[in-house]
Every structure is written in structure tokens, then in C-alpha cells.
Amino acid sequence: MYLARISDRIPIAQYWNDYPQKHPDKAKGKDDPAYYGDNIYKPDDASSLGFKRVESCFHCKESDLPHDVGGKNVIICKEFYYFSAENALKIPDEIRCDFNTVQRGYKRFQGEERINRFVDFVRNRKGECRFYRTLTQIINQKNQSEI
């Protein structure tokens, strides 16, 4: 399960250029989010789709390229929480009733009170996340490693 607050929408080419810290880094171990970097489509004028897929540890199907770049934009989430299947967040019944149970996909909430209740619940348990970092933390970590 993950929770993300969308803060911006930008073209894929801009994402490649503006967020190099999100390029996948195979040198990192599987416990580091950089290993799973999702900025995998590099602008390429020679490609019929305008992009080529870079080597990635996590996103590995070349056949996904037309679908993935077909939308032309990516969403930027400056607040992101991920709870793996091995570290599932225990959601109380009073919040759980707001969900449809799905294996994959997403749930879009309606109503500010419901949204705030769920977001506050997750924020208060960010220590239980497998990965919790704000975009600012990711950028700062990358900048520190380059010094």
C-alpha cells in the first residue's frame, strides 16, 4: 500500500532533466529506494516515441514504453509513504471501511474529512513505512553524496 499527495504534473522529458536523483541506481542495495528509481525514460530524438528506457532494477519490461510515455506527463508527489506486503500497515476498522479491497490499483477518496482522517493516520505511523521520505529528503541525500 502506498499513499502519495500529488503536488505537480510535468512532462516526462522535464522529469528526466529535473529529477536525476530519481534515476535508478543498481549500485544501491534493495533496501535503498534509489535501487527502485522510477525516472527511467530518457528523451531520445532517434526513438519513434521520443524516449528510450534506461536500465532499471525494478521496471524491466521494454514493452511498457509505449504505454508509459503515451500520457506525456508524470505526477510529482512530494509526500509519499510505502508499506510493503511484508510490512503492511494495520488499518483500524473505522478507517478500513473507506476502502475497496483490491490487489492492484488505487482508491480515490471523496470528502475532506475522510481524506484528512486517513492521511493523519498514515503520517502518525510513518515509522512503520518501509520507505518514507519526502522529495526534499531524497534531493538532499543525493546532493550530500555528490559532495
Q: What is the pLDDT of residues 110-142, one digit of tens each?
A: 677 877 888 888 888 877 766 555 544 555 555
Q: Specify if 99 maps to a domain.
A: no
Q: Write down the pLDDT at residue 130.
A: 60
Q: How many CB atoms lie within 10 A of CB 81?
A: 22
* 46 domain-assigned: yes
108: in domain = no
pLDDT computed for residue 133 by the predictor: 53
Phi, psi of 23, deg, nearest 5: -65, 140
Which residues, 6+ apart, have CB-to-CB distance to 115 below 8 Å? 109
pLDDT attached to residue 12: 94
Residue 37 lies in a domain: yes
The total number of structural domains that make up the chain:
1
- Domain containing 19: what range? 2-89+125-145
Residue 56 inside a domain? The answer is yes
Q: Which residues of the chain have pLDDT under 50?
A: 135-136, 143-147
Q: Is residue 120 part of a domain?
A: no
Q: Within a domain: residue 117? A: no
Strands (E), 1-147: 2-11, 41-43, 51-53, 73-82, 131-132
Q: Is residue 79 part of a domain?
A: yes
